[in-house]
Amino acid sequence: MNPLGFADKSVMGKIKRNSSTSKAWIGWVLGGVVLVVALGAPRHQTPLKGLNNPSRSGGSSPVSSLRTWVEEFRQWTQSGLSEESCIQSLSQYYQDLLKLTPDSQVAREIEQRPGQANRAFFEARQDLREGLFRLYQKGAYSEACADQARNVMRVLRYTEEYIAEHGLKVPPYNEKKPYPYLAGDRPYLHLARELSSFSPKDLKSGDILLSRGNAFASAAIARLSQVDGQFSHGAFIYIDPATRQPLVLEAHIEVGSTIRSYEEYASDGNARVMLLRFRGEEGQALAARAAQEAYERLKAAERSPFKVVPYDFAMDLSDENAFFCTEIPYFGFKKASAGRVQVPLYLGRIEPKNRNFVNRLGISTQRSFLPSDLDVDPRFKVLAEWKDISRVGWIRRKDAVLDRFYAWSDEYGYQLHGTVSSWFRKTVVWKLRRWPLFSHLLQSKFPLNMPQSVLESITVLNALGEVLEGYLETRDDLALKQRGFRLTISEMESQLDAFRLEDLQRYEASRGNKKQDSTPVYFHHVFRAGP
């Protein structure tokens, strides 16, 4: 096989399609270095194996198909899930599904029964949630079990989307005509078994919408917890009693708290949205009071000098003078229950070994409400989940990039290093944003309370992310060409690990070489260990 020529114009062309500003980013970050790298076939590509079916005692035996695996898993969630089996069995199921690659049998199932397989994996997540709720009712649902459940939820969702992406005929993404939120049919929209349809009129006060944005910062939030998640934003629904129209209560980095119509919310262009509702009549009544409390707090802020509740960069749940997105429902449930009900059931753990990036974002706490915490809170029922299948591959690549970002930070002490662009933004732009005339000219909004370190870190993260995603997209396209299937999330991470080693060698060689262009470096200029 001839080696794949991975030249500057190929990678940068893909990066350019990912972001209209990437040409400027790359110029500032890498100093306009021309990159020419000859790479062969993926060196760390996982062999195309099928799934292994674990015996619950810890051994393993082969299974013949995705269908067999998911049926066995669903049966276990309905009859075998217990306090004792939760951690060990879920851990084994997670490891099995994480190893999934499209061998001939799996490929045939995806091609022959994609709709059935896609729905089966959504139903598997619903069954797991019901099983976790039964444990919760018995007082047997531990945080350790929740951690394993989140891992399994994540790989089940990846598998469901991977099946839809390859097996179903989905038109390419159309930026001018995006697919509407919580609308359509499978594989875009999956509804709970008791629902036959959904419209915004079905929303109730106290419902929560989790979503996943397209930016690298969104991927960073989704992967911020000690156990990775797949959602980056949370919104709280309040039904206006006068108009009966749903209002969406949110907090955004750019503007602080907001109250918007559902139609405005649905125009944000997110790639994934999930609708959750508190179970039971009492639970829904509590949720409605929580939404009322949150709405009144945000309306009161409109009468303040700031007109909004400022964004809480520290993610400090004890500070009610500033809110981040999921702090709004947290506040509402706390007030409505007089502190007796905490949402979520288990707070996310922000405990990286290397806190450099977290500290630069201004996050001061080790426990907070991260959006994906609700993915494993069984007190909430998932009524609907929607995703734009034409974009789930993009999200998977960004997840892999941020997985490696955090892993390299913890394992090797990597940290972001400033660039000319980030220095300009954290000094000149950061100061001029306070001038009304200049602020109107900015494409991006910067709140007055945004720390300089946040602006700098997001600037460098975007540039780094575009380089890594550009490389990964090329490898992903090669996998599609060679075997008819794109890389799985595990294969993507292996590709990036190999790329890190190659780029580290070039960086170390360049440090003792005055002719910088003779040893081109991709990203270690801006993300590495040490000074």
Residue 516: pLDDT band with limits 50, 70, 90:
low
pLDDT score recorded for residue 59 = 37
Residue 306 pLDDT: 83
Whether 29 and 58 share a structural domain:
no
Question: Is residue 503 in a domain?
Answer: yes
- The answer to whether 214 and 269 are in contact (CB under 8 A) is yes
Residue 280's φ and ψ, nearest 5 degrees, are 80, 160
Contact 256, 311 (CB under 8 A): yes
Give pLDDT, residue 369.
98
Q: Are residues 59 and 193 in the same domain?
A: no
What single-letter amino acid sits at 215? A
Structure-block tokens of residue 396: 């998977």
Query: Is residue 183 one of the residues assigned to a domain?
Result: no
Calpha distance 483→139 (Å, rounded) = 47
Q: What is the rounded (10 degree) CA torsion for 161, 122, 51, 402?
A: 50
Same domain, 386 and 474: no
Identify the H or E element spanning 368: strand 367-368
pLDDT in tens, 133-174: 999 999 999 999 999 999 999 999 999 999 999 988 788 888
pLDDT in tens, 300-352: 999 988 899 999 999 999 999 999 999 999 999 999 999 999 999 999 999 99
Mean pLDDT of the chain: 83
Q: Are residues 9 and 121 in the same domain?
A: no
Those residues whose C-beta lies under 8 Å from the C-beta of residue 481, and which sit 6 or more positions away, are none
Q: Judge if 58 and 36 occupy the same domain.
A: no
Task: Give the span between the Cα atoms of 180 and 198, in whole angstroms.
Answer: 12
At a CB cut-off of 8 Å and minimum separation 6, what does 31 contact? 525
The answer to whether the CB of 240 falls within 8 A of the CB of 298 is no
Q: Identify whether 184 is part of a domain.
A: no
pLDDT score recorded for residue 24: 32
Tell me whether residue 224 is in a domain: yes
**Residue 405: both structure tokens together:** 């970002």
Distance from C-alpha of 379 to C-alpha of 146, rounded to nearest angstrom? 13
502, exposed or middle or buried, with CB in 10 Å at 0-12, 13-18, 19+? middle
Residue 436 lies in a domain: yes
Does 269 share its domain with 301?
A: yes
What does the pLDDT look like over 369-427, one tens digit per residue? 999 999 999 999 999 999 999 999 999 999 999 999 999 999 999 999 987 565 555 55
Q: Are residues 257 and 342 in the same domain?
A: yes
- The pLDDT of residue 180 is above 70: yes
Six-digit token pair at 502? Answer: 């190659």
- Range of the structural domain that residue 67 is part of: 52-168
Based on the fold, state whether residues 215 and 274 are members of the same structural domain.
yes
State whether 207 and 152 are in the same domain: no
Say if residues 329 and 347 touch (Cβ distance below 8 Å). Answer: no
15 pLDDT more than 50:
no
Which helix or strand (DSSP H or E) is residue 477 part of? helix 452-483
Asked if residue 181 belongs to a domain, the reply is no
The CA distance from 446 to 159, in Å, is 37
Pair 360, 446 in one domain: no
How many domains would you assign to the chain? Answer: 3
Q: Fill in the DSSP letter of residue 184.
A: S
Through-space distance between the first and last CA atoms of the chain, rounded to whole angstroms:
40
Distance CA 455, CA 362 (A): 11
pLDDT at 75: 96
Percent of the chain at pLDDT above 90? Answer: 65
Strand duo 4-7 + 367-368: pairing: unpaired
With 0-12 / 13-18 / 19 or more C-beta atoms within 10 angstroms meaning exposed / middle / buried, residue 477 is middle
Cα dihedral value 346, 449, 460, 10, nearest 10: 90
Query: Which residues have C-beta within 8 Å of that of residue 282, sequence separation ≥ 6?
Result: none
Please check whether residue 408 lies inside any domain of the structure: no
Q: Is residue 28 located within the same domain as residue 114?
A: no
CA distance 58 to 106: 23
Q: Give CA–CA dist 222/99, Å, rounded.
A: 22
Chain length of the chain? 531
Residue 236's CATH number: 3.90.1720.10
Per-residue H/E/C for 43-107: CCCCCCCCCEEECCCCCEEECCCHHHHHHHHHHHHHHCCCHHHHHHHHHHHHHHHHCCCCCHHHH
Q: Is the domain of 216 the same as that of 239?
A: yes
- The answer as to whether 371 is a domain residue is yes
- Domain termination residue (choose one: 373, 390, 407): 390
Within 10 Å of residue 185's Cβ, how many Cβ atoms?
9
**76 pLDDT higher than 60:** yes
